[in-house]
Amino acid sequence: MLTLIDFWPALISLLAVWLFSSKRYLAGGLVMAIGIGVKLYPILLVPPLLVLAWRQGKVKPLFTGLLLGLLPLGLLSFYLPWWRFAQFQADRGLQVESLYASMLWLGHLFGVADVHWIYTNKWYEVRGAAATAVLPWAHLSFVASVGGSTVIAVRAAAKLENVATAQIARLLLIPLLAFVVMNQVFSLQYMIWLLPLAALASLEGNLWPVCAIALATMLTPLFYPVPDYYHGGLNLLETLILLSRNFSLLAAWIALMREAWQMKAEFKMQSNEDGLQ
């Protein structure tokens, strides 16, 4: 069940991008810090924005806004340690909607994976010998993919000439998609995090990665909530729909990374041509 707090971080991130593209860097940094305080994930958006601000000579007001917004969070951490939430998330198993769990569940339906669909706490997980073996690799791939995606987004931001709202959104979607797709936890609220940036990204550039995110959103109600979700696990058709949702997001992530990489290559080629002239 979604609550109001699940919508706020996405709206705050959207507002921060709009403020940044409107050259209101101090306010943008402040709003982004508030988003980090509500849900930690907007911190992934900070490195590309800092690089874009540096390119425009405006890193100081953006950083000042971030610092002012994060100061209360730092003081509150002595009483409400935010890292406990991060540790709690890291200690969770393979949530059933994650890419790893959905692939294991398909294997279970074909009789090749020893896993079970189990309710634990407030969510459902895939557990068993295969899930236990996959979990450490899921952690490793999550860290590597989020870190690598952030590096790609930052390097592309350093070469970006057209700092339009759509281009900013396309860069920010790269680490955010990595966080969503490669996470061992996949909550329904994650789609809400993606949609506002996807809407901005649709204003410019190749539309199909954005359409893949929209398709993933439309597929979600076909497997959640359904009776099988609460009683023993999805059937084959529902599992295939879940996998289609996850692979649509995976394809969007890969496409946006490729786009950012080509952006760097084109900039380098242009720089070489300018040097020859």
pLDDT digits (tens, 9 = 90+) for 145-174: 999 999 999 999 998 766 788 999 999 999
Buried b vs exposed e over 84-107: b needs ≥16 C-beta within 10 Å? eeeeeeeebbbbbbbbbbbbbbbb
- In one-letter notation, the amino acid at residue 213 is I
Q: What are phi and psi of 116, to 5 degrees?
A: -135, 150
Query: Do the beta carbons of residue 2 and residue 189 sit within 8 Å?
Result: yes
**Predicted TM-score (pTM) of this structure:** 0.88
Does residue 41 surpass a pLDDT of 80?
yes
pLDDT of residue 84: 59
CB under 8 Å to 241, separation ≥6 — which residues? 219, 222, 223
Residue 202 C-beta-side C-alpha neighbours within 13 Å? 12
Buried b vs exposed e over 199-236: b needs ≥16 C-beta within 10 Å? ebbbeebeeebbebbbbbbebeeebbeeeebeeebbee
Higher pLDDT, residue 268 or 257: 257
Does residue 200 surpass a pLDDT of 60?
yes
Query: Do the beta carbons of residue 267 and residue 55 sit within 8 Å?
Result: no
Q: What are phi and psi of 112, to 5 degrees?
A: -120, 0
pLDDT of residue 71: 85
